[in-house]
Amino acid sequence: MKPLNKVQLITYPDSLGGNLESLDIVLNRYFKDIFRGGVHILPPFPSSGDRGFSPLTYLEIEPAFGGWEDIKKIGENFPVMLDLMVNHISRKSEYFKDYLAKGDESEYSGMFITPEKVWPEGIPSDDEIQKIFLRREKPFSTYGQGDSGEEITVWTTFGKTDPSEQTDVDINSPVTKKMFSSILKNFHKYNVGTVRLDAVGYVIKKRDTSCFFVEPEIFDFMKEISELAQGEEITLLPELHSHFSRQYKMAEKGYWIYDFILPYLILETLFTKKSGALKKYLNERPEKQFTMLDCHDGIPVKPDLDDIADSEAARNVVDICLERGANLSRIKSSKHKSPDGFDVHQIRGTIYSLLGEDDDTYIAARALQFFTPGIPQVYYVGLLAGANDINNENAKTDGREINRHNFSIDEVEQAIKKTVVKRLLELIRFRNDYPAFNGNFSVPDSDEGSVILKWENSELFCRLIIDLASMNSSIEYVDSDGELKLWQI
């Protein structure tokens, strides 16, 4: 199923009303004409951690959220995207529990990655570990096996605990391949049309590499799983936080990619009131992308912006965000930091707070996103112009929780009355409905203190004009009667 060129929502299954049934009510009651591009429901599966990203299984829905029929019902009115964490699964999954209980006798023994699979002599040296793009202090965890408690070490890319909740899977194992096939078949059965391949860059483990986006093996995997997905009429969206050249390689192969560069460049443009870097980027980027400003993680910095933003400029952006309540995630491996030691991986906070909780600046940011070629996604907190959730107790252990407030239906009703939210909804309607967005994009010349973006389709055109000094945003467009209109957003 080809994604629609309309605006999409990103939300957790319990973040708009408390469960999937309430999500369906909220979507149909308040946003029926808004999210015609669909909804990306972050992992609704039974999970042992990481807010759903440590799934026990993909064949069930967490009972507290509802069931598969709820997913199917939402999919009748809004195209649905779900996640498949191709790199890992929960340590509490039946697969891993059986492996711990039975060892090599388990039918799932080949599904997990012991160090010997990569280094036959055992655990690698510290120097070899430092080559790896680390997401935690070490890439392995040790677990007690069976009644004897004999220790077994397996690869764990992610996880805040030791041992980790998320155990990596061997994508070359027939058992893993069978699992992927059954997941995609089940997704298709319940109206899931797009699947995000979470953490796909980490699936190849190979000696003397960073174990991230290892070529050509990564493309062998993409070809194989794409064939499975095509058989179920599912579009894949690989999630890849990396140097932009790797994203572009994915695009060259015909895959959809995420525009993880755009959010930072929009922040930098609005903070510095200088548009040169953004306009240069917009003239060079692939168009087959999903665009975003905010998400459940944070604003990407390194390695996504390597060779695009220098460390000094990035530090200035980071400092402003910190002043506005943000927190940071860091690069773990010294070899993957900047030569001057700059190590910010992501900036975490709500996009509304990062932009100073200024309505005009926020609308300017969204307008830039919506006029950038691609399929725009709006995170639910940003949709409701939510501020940093400084009272979220979970943020003390996971800084991402600052941008994960759960809204009751009453809170949604109050939020949509805010002027800034009303302005955003009108902007989304224009982006969904105006035919020129299916035409040709250009970046007309303008001075550094402004941005002009233009779409043309036959006799119709629309042009976004942003004055960075005043943060005034307007759209000039031709209406259905052929009259030229000017809309102050």
CA dist 136 and 476 (Å) reads 48
DSSP symbols for 358-394: -HHHHHHHHHHHHHSSSEEEEEHHHHTTPPP-TT-GG
C-alpha gyration radius of the chain: 23
Contact yes or no for 294/388 (Cβ under 8 A): no
Q: What string of H, E and C letters represents the secondary structure of 189-215?
A: HCCEEEEEEECHHHCCCCCCCCCCCCC
CA dist 480 and 443 (Å) reads 24
* Cα–Cα separations (whole angstroms), residue 223 to 3, 218, 254: 19, 9, 11
**One-letter amino acid for residue 281 of the chain:** Y
Annotated catalytic residue, options 239, 259, 268, 401 = 239
CA dist 310 and 301 (Å) reads 10
Contact yes or no for 110/170 (Cβ under 8 A): yes
* Cα–Cα separations (whole angstroms), residue 51 to 15, 117, 172: 11, 30, 27
H or E element at residue 465: strand 460-467
CB atoms within 10 A of CB 265: 23
- The gap from C-alpha 239 to its chain's centroid, in whole angstroms, comes to 7
Which tokens belong to 230? Answer: 């095509």
Annotated catalytic residue, options 198, 304, 359, 389 = 198
Please report, to the nearest 10 degrees, the dihedral formed by the alpha carbons of residues 427, 429, 430, 434 taken in order.
160
Task: Tell me, yes or no, if 239 is annotated catalytic.
Answer: yes
DSSP symbols for 215-233: TTHHHHHHHHHHHHHHHTT
DSSP symbols for 134-156: -SSS-SEEEEEETTTTEEEEEE-
Task: Tell me, yes or no, if 359 is annotated catalytic.
Answer: no
Which tokens belong to 236? Answer: 């894949």
Contact yes or no for 291/322 (Cβ under 8 A): no
Contact yes or no for 449/472 (Cβ under 8 A): no
Contact yes or no for 433/441 (Cβ under 8 A): no
Residue 86: strand, helix, or coil: coil
Q: What's the longest Cα–Cα distance across the chain? A: 80
The secondary structure of residue 403, as a DSSP letter, is: G
Which tokens belong to 395? Answer: 């943020």
Q: Which residues are catalytic?
A: 198, 239
